[in-house]
Chains A and B, each alone.
Chain A
Amino acid sequence: MLPKLPLDRWVEAFVDWMTDHLSGLFDWLSAVIEGIVSGFSFLFHLPPPLLFIVIAAAIAFFLGRWPIAAFTAIGFYLIYNMGLWAEMMDTLALVVSSAFISIVLGIPLGIACSRSKAVAGAVTPLLDFMQTMPAFVYLIPAVMFFGLGVVPGVIASVIFAIPPTIRLTHLGIRQVPAELTEAADAFGSTSGQRLFKVELPLAWPTVMAGVNQTIMLSLSMVVIASMIGAEGVGASVYRAVTQLKIGQGFEAGLAVVIVAIVLDRLTQRMMKTKRKRRD
């Protein structure tokens, strides 16, 4: 029998090396992410809860139809009523931040994949790895690199949630009919013009489906993120579960579900209206 491959020690050595040598980079990253999260957090905490509910319902109404608006208003009021308002705003900031980072990184990466087979070949297995590796495994190194708090939570959410955006951007662009890209070329488009005038608009619904999935996945990470110190509804769930407070756990869980449904419906509407407006 072959001796055991010392993969574990290699990884540990690698993580140690990163902690020692890349701390500057991590500090910088940490500051950036912290900035993004606190920006969103500030924004969400700014309006009083009732005003926030009205604004959210109004957005839902303009994007969609009144059932979504009604659900948003009632759901958010319920969260307020359950006394989970501040926690929900923290969670929202966490989710929106990781979705934001995922989109900013993921869409260009998806485009790069569609442009080059080599990039796609390198990125695809990495995405498989990110989606299937249990989150706890990279949670610990994330804490070592970034310390406890919201930042490693965002990092873990991004790692878990970014793949659909990349994959579906890639897919969406690849699915643009060849004769349309050919037509764009035949009229003398630069590759940038082809991307922005033909490929992205046509791929847009698919890209947005990826963004929608990304938001849902980062929401599903809030409980795990709370284990390493991220504040929010996730933390309430975690606390309630560890203290066997079934009722409180259910309330916090319900808050997550409400936020999930609202975000899901809103982003779904967004891909439809975006398409109409472009027409």
Chain B
Amino acid sequence: MREATKLFGPASDKAVKLLEAGWTKERLAKEKQIVVGVNRVSLEIEEGEIFVIMGLSGSGKSTLVRMLNRLIEPTSGDIRIRGKSIVGMDAHELRELRRKTISMVFQKFALLPHRTVRANVEFGLEIQGIPKSKRREQAERALRLVGLEGWADKMPDELSGGMQQRVGLARALANDPDILLMDEAFSALDPLIRRNMQDELLELQMKMKKTIVFITHDLDEALRIGDKIALMRDGAVVQVGTPEEIMIHPANEYVERFVEDVDLSKVLTAEHVMRRPETIAPDRGPRVALQLMRERGISNLFVVDRGQKLLGVISADDAAEAIAANKSVGDIAVTDVPRVRPDTLLHELFEICGTSKLPVAVVNDTDRLMGVIVRGAVLGALAGQIPRTEVKPGVAEAPA
């Protein structure tokens, strides 16, 4: 979508020029009674990703998402889906687009109260004129997908909020669209259910690989489910990036204020706080190990093979004992080192760090050592000092 703009008010098409000429939102509102809904937003949404548009109420996010299926007509600008502009589509093409390519899930579910769950899910198929047996089958499949098989003959008001929204999701999935627009889809649910729904959406997305545009005002939700996040304010996009980018490098003060209340421990991962590990090969002697520790000012070394595969850890005390017993590093290494993955969230690290005397190793799925978790760095990260993600040599500290 390029420079898509929506203005509300009299002669709004002419006002686009004024906006381009640098008029502020306030000036337009005051002098021309024009409300800027969406201000020249350009976004690139990749196929198969969950793209979260986040902002407070009134930031234009709902307007923006409705421009994607032209429930709201853009005043100017262009919106392309797979290269095809939807702005110029006539009513027939637009209907086809809405029937086949884009579905929507609504904040207040928007289920038809006079229809059963099944008939609701079938709605999109019914208006396409799909024969009854086929649409029943497709509806069954969609209901199964959201875990509501067996509820087909209930009425929407017999279901809880979370289940109603599942029906909303099933209705949107029934015609197997490429793009799913979710407008604050989980905002009306209570926190616990919301969390479940987010997990289920992610799970579903693993199977479906749809392009999902998800609107929310809840930063935690955005960070949990978004592959990418666009932050909106006053109709304009303030920043676009992955959750980490937004957290770690807020583009301006507004984003910073927005993200400051976020529990960083639920966003940052081991990868963000790990340091370069100091290692030693298993065939070295304990004297070498002690020497190395002294040089670096640390009390532990990881023992790795030539492929950087983690074998164990040795401490200065063990090394001193080994000198007397004349053993190699490999013999005395403690092998049950606590291991975490690079994508382990910080708040899960706390427990591991707290219960283990040994340093915590960050390893990938083939047990290759990637880094070490230093307690000080974890706390520093929570205090807002985010270390550079690339690990520089020589900064290793003693694991506490």
If A197-B123, A197-B126, A279-B116 touch, whether A190 touches B110 (CB-CB below 8 Å) is: no
What is the CA–CA distance of A124 and B290 in the complex, to the nearest angstrom? 95
Interfacial residues of chain A within 251-279, with CB under 8 A of chain B in the complex: 275, 278-279
A188 touches B155 (CB 8 A): no
CB-nearest residue of chain A to B126: A197
CB-nearest residue of chain A to B168: A183
List, in ascending order, chain B residues with CB within 8 A of A202's CB: 112-114
B114 touches A187 (CB 8 A): no
B95 touches A188 (CB 8 A): yes
B114 touches A201 (CB 8 A): yes
Count contacts on A: residues with CB < 8 A to the other chain. Answer: 20
Residue A38 CB within 8 A of the other chain: no
A190 touches B127 (CB 8 A): yes
Interfacial residues of chain A within 130-187, with CB under 8 A of chain B in the complex: 177, 179-180, 182-187
Residue A123 CB within 8 A of the other chain: no
A185 touches B112 (CB 8 A): no
B128 touches A188 (CB 8 A): yes
If A193-B127, A197-B123 touch, whether A186 touches B104 (CB-CB below 8 Å) is: yes
Q: Which of B108, B115, B123 contacts A187 (CB 8 A)?
A: B123
> Beta-carbon contacts of B95-107 to A below 8 Å, as 1s and 0s?
1111110111011
B106 touches A179 (CB 8 A): yes
If A188-B124, A202-B112 touch, whether A182 touches B106 (CB-CB below 8 Å) is: yes
Residue B130 CB within 8 A of the other chain: no
Residue A112 CB within 8 A of the other chain: no
Interfacial residues of chain B within 242-297, with CB under 8 A of chain A in the complex: none
List, in ascending order, chain A residues with CB within 8 A of B99's CB: 187-188
What is the CA–CA distance of A198 and B103 in the complex, to the nearest angstrom? 17
Q: Which of A186, A190, A197 contacts B71 (CB 8 A)?
A: A186
What is the CA–CA distance of A211 and B2 in the complex, to the nearest angstrom? 51
Residue B69 CB within 8 A of the other chain: yes
A275 touches B114 (CB 8 A): yes
List, in ascending order, chain A residues with CB within 8 A of B110's CB: 177, 179-180, 182-183
Residue A189 CB within 8 A of the other chain: yes
> Beta-carbon contacts of B71-104 to A below 8 Å, as 1s and 0s?
1000000000000000000000011111110111
B155 touches A187 (CB 8 A): no
If A185-B71, A190-B127 touch, whether A198 touches B112 (CB-CB below 8 Å) is: yes
B166 to chain A, nearest CB (A): 15
Q: Which of B106, B112, B113, B127 contacts A188 (CB 8 A)?
A: B127
What is the CA–CA distance of A183 and B169 in the complex, to the nearest angstrom? 12
CB-nearest residue of chain B to A202: B114
List, in ascending order, chain A residues with CB within 8 A of B102's CB: 186
What is the CA–CA distance of A179 and B184 in the complex, to the nearest angstrom? 13
Interfacial residues of chain B within 311-330, with CB under 8 A of chain A in the complex: none
What is the CA–CA distance of A184 and B123 in the complex, to the nearest angstrom? 8
What is the CA–CA distance of A187 and B106 in the complex, to the nearest angstrom? 12
List, in ascending order, chain A residues with CB within 8 A of B124's CB: 187-188
List, in ascending order, chain B residues with CB within 8 A of A179's CB: 106-108, 110
B106 touches A185 (CB 8 A): no
Most A CB within 10 A of own CB, among B98, B99, B110, B128: B110
CB-nearest residue of chain A to B69: A186
B233 to chain A, nearest CB (A): 25
List, in ascending order, chain B residues with CB within 8 A of A177's CB: 108, 110
A207 to chain B, nearest CB (A): 13
A187 touches B127 (CB 8 A): yes
What is the CA–CA distance of A185 and B94 in the complex, to the nearest angstrom? 10
List, in ascending order, chain A residues with CB within 8 A of B123's CB: 184, 187, 197
What is the CA–CA distance of A176 and B124 in the complex, to the nearest angstrom? 19
List, in ascending order, chain A residues with CB within 8 A of B126's CB: 197
List, in ascending order, chain A residues with CB within 8 A of B103's CB: 186-187
What is the CA–CA distance of A183 and B120 in the complex, to the nearest angstrom? 11
Q: Which of A186, A201, A279 contacts B98 (CB 8 A)?
A: A186
CB-nearest residue of chain B to A183: B110
B168 to chain A, nearest CB (A): 9
What is the CA–CA distance of A87 and B179 in the complex, to the nearest angstrom? 66
Interfacial residues of chain B within 333-369, with CB under 8 A of chain A in the complex: none
Q: Which of A190, A198, A278 contacts B95 (CB 8 A)?
A: A190
> Beta-carbon contacts of B363-396 to A below 8 Å, as 1s and 0s?
0000000000000000000000000000000000
> Beta-carbon contacts of B170-181 to A below 8 Å, as 1s and 0s?
010001000001
Most B CB within 10 A of own CB, among A180, A182, A183, A197: A183
List, in ascending order, chain B residues with CB within 8 A of A186's CB: 69, 71, 98, 102-104, 106, 181
CB-nearest residue of chain B to A275: B114
List, in ascending order, chain B residues with CB within 8 A of A188's CB: 94-100, 124, 127-128
B108 to chain A, nearest CB (A): 5
Interfacial residues of chain B within 101-152, with CB under 8 A of chain A in the complex: 102-104, 106-108, 110, 112-116, 123-124, 126-128
CB-nearest residue of chain A to B94: A188
B368 to chain A, nearest CB (A): 48
- Of all A-B residue pairs in the complex, the 5 with the closest CB atoms, nearest first, are A188-B98, A188-B99, A183-B110, A187-B124, A186-B104
Residues of A at the B interface (CB closer than 8 Å) are 177, 179-180, 182-190, 193, 197-198, 201-202, 275, 278-279
